[in-house]
Amino acid sequence: MMRFDTSSLIEAVKQTAEQVVKSIDEPTLRTVGFAGADLFRDQAKQIALYNMKTGMLFDSIIVKRLDEESDGGQVQVYLVTVRNGNASRDGAYYWRWVEKGHKFVPKNTNVSARTGRTIGWAAHRRAAELEYGNARVRAYPFMRPAYETRKRDAVDLMTRTLAQQLARNST
């Protein structure tokens, strides 16, 4: 019969785990988290290219660190989103309509003498009267497919980045 004392092995594993936890600091976690989020952002931009008209949506897809949910060296939270803006400021305020589709508002042929706009309230009322979106603009999703296609790759990339950061911190 052979006996094996595992107490020294358990102690070595505990010490190694403590060293790993100590070497993971806030800059390391930020680098690892951003690597995964960056991969999702690039995939969403790639999908958005298929339906690009002006390039505003492509340019507005960003990675944002959520300071209120990140707590230093323990948790880092990143959000891949679209810079909203509005009609007068840079940003793709319409991105949810592209992602999920929307009701079609036909172009009004009457030009307003006061505003110079061609789509007026009458066109919006006609669109609202359409029951449950009989005339809908097709959805062109880009965020959800980006997440679904790249989630395993993001985990792999984050694992590799963490290993590289740990190797860099230990030397």
- What's the one-letter identity of residue 53? K
| Span 37-55, pLDDT tens digits | 999 999 999 999 887 777 8
**What are the tens digits of pLDDT across the range 91-124?**
788 888 888 877 666 555 666 677 776 656 666 6
Q: For residue 80, is pLDDT > 90? A: yes
Give the per-residue pLDDT at 10.
Answer: 80
Per-residue buried b or exposed e for 94-131, using 16+ beta carbons within 10 Å of the residue's own CB: bbeebbeebbebeebeeeeeeeeeeeeeebeeebeeee
